[in-house]
Each structure stands twice: as structure tokens, then as C-alpha cells.
Amino acid sequence: MTNYLHDIPSGPDPPREIYVIVEMTRASKNKYEYDSDHNLFKLDRVLYTYAPFDYGFIPQTLDHDLDPLDVVLLINEPTFTSCVVHARPIGVMMMNDAGKTDDKIIAVPINDPYYRDVKSIKDLSRSLIDEVKHFYATYKIQEKGVVEVKEFRELDDAYQTVDRCIKDYKKGSVS
């Protein structure tokens, strides 16, 4: 059986093209997390609000929080939990979750015609960026969690983040 974290590559041409393993789908409140030790997706919790995007991780990566690198996948229609999506990073959202660094790559599917011309976070509408920011700024309020969205950064920062997390995965520790 394929392990989504360890057996699937980070992408066909990382950091420019990545694979995203979907955990949570757009328009859902169910927050699933992949358990690589047991090779299954489990319900972590039910959120109080709906996600305006698919959400997942890049396989064979390790981020500051000792989890795989998170991805906010902007997509027109939801996919499904465990779906592998060929995507293009367009930026990175810098944030703190409970006082810890928890960056999120912003990406779009390679084969989604609605995002065909989106090559950088600069190509997104201000309202879409505000929607993503609002979701993260508020989704843990009822859980008494504190999330601070710091800033959105450009493509080069996204590439550097992906590269760093691939290297950290290979060496088994974060830098």
C-alpha cells in the first residue's frame, strides 16, 4: 500500500510543480489529517466554518512544525480527501498558529482552466486573498485558538520554502 507522505514524490518538477495530497476539501467543515504511521486519513475535528479552498500537504517535505508543508489549494470545485493534485505554487502565506510558525504554500491546480493564467499571487483578486486571510484569522475563534496571518509573499519565497522543506525531509530534521 502506498504511503502518501513517503512514497509519493514532492512533484514532477519541485518547487515549480508539486503534488498536493488533499486532506480537507473546499466547502467542507471536516478537517482531516493524514496519519503516515497508519497510512490513513482521520477526522481531526469539525470546524465552525467552511473552507473556501482544498487543503493538504506536499509529500516528502518537513516544515518548522515538524509536519509536511501545508498547501492552500485554490480550486474551482472540491476534489476529495486523498486526491493527489498536480499543482503550481503561486505564493506563500506566512502565519503563526498558537505562537508557532506555520507557513502555507498557496497553489493552483495545473489542469484547472479557471486558474490557467494565475502564475503568481499577484494574479489573484484582492477579494480572494482577503477570503483566505479571513478564514485563517477566524477559523479557530470558537476553539479559543489564536492564529495570526502575517503576510503573503511572492513566488520566489514559495519556491524557497518548498526547497527548504524538501531538504529538511531528506535530512530528517528542520533547519
132-174: pLDDT as tens digits:
999 988 887 777 777 788 899 999 999 999 999 999 999 988 8
Least confident of 45-54, 94-103, 114-123: 94-103
Q: Please name each of the domains of the chain with its CATH number.
A: 18-169 (3.90.80.10)
pLDDT digits (tens, 9 = 90+) for 52-63: 999 999 999 999
Rounded-to-integer distance, Cα 25 and Cα 8, Å:
20
Q: What is the pTM of this model?
A: 0.95
Look up residue 104 and give its three cell numbers.
Answer: 502555507
Q: Is 106 left (phi over 0), alpha (psi -120 to 50) or beta?
A: beta
Query: What's the chain's average pLDDT?
Result: 94
pLDDT (0 to 100) of residue 98: 76
Q: The cell 535530512 sits on which residue?
A: 171
Q: What dihedral do alpha carbons 61, 64, 65, 69 form, nearest 10°? A: -30
